[in-house]
Every structure is written in C-alpha cells, then in structure tokens.
Amino acid sequence: MCLAIPGKVISLTSDFDEVNYPGKVSFGGILREVNFCFLPDVKVDDYVLVHVGVALSKVDEDEARETLKYLEQMGELDELNIQPEKPGL
C-alpha cells in the first residue's frame, strides 16, 4: 500500500529552484530529506504529508497526529520504523 506519511518540517535549504527544494522532515524523530517543490510556501515547523520523498500538502498538527494514530493502529508505522512522538510530533 502506498501511503503519505505526516511529518514536521525541521529545516529548508535556501538553495532551490522549481524542481528541487530540499529540506528535512521529522517522522517521529527520524529525519529524512524531502523535496518541497510542490509547496514553495512551506515553513519550518509546518506539518506536511510526504509520499516517496516529496511533500504533497500541508496539514495541521491535529490532522498529522490523527493520521499517525491511524497508521500506528494499522501497523504501518512498524513497517516504516517510525515511532509517533507524543508532544509536538
């Protein structure tokens, strides 16, 4: 199953163009490089849905937590080695 996983934007690079806008996202404390090319207005501390290394949309913190809760109940986070963080995601 293909899933978009919510995470918190930790950092963004100042060197970007319309194809590559790299930054880092925290998924339960695991940092991954993500391309924000579809979200040029994203900011540090925003929550985003990421699929195959690309941020697809912004979500609010409550929605991110709810999605992580459902993914955890489905056992999908175990497969991805992601542990949901309690405060602040």
The full set of domain ranges for the chain reads 5-80
- The predicted model gives 52-65 an average pLDDT of 94
Nearest C-alpha neighbor of 12 from the set 47, 48, 38, 36: 36
Measured CA to CA, the distance from residue 33 to residue 82 in angstroms comes to 15
CB 80 within 8 A of CB 50: no
In the block, residue with structure tokens 């925003």: 46
Taking 60 as the threshold, does the pLDDT of residue 56 lie above it?
yes
CATH topology of domain 5-80: SH3 type barrels. (2.30.30)
Instruction: State whether residue 58 is helix, strand or coil.
Output: strand
Which pTM does this prediction carry? 0.79
Taking 70 as the threshold, does the pLDDT of residue 82 lie above it?
no
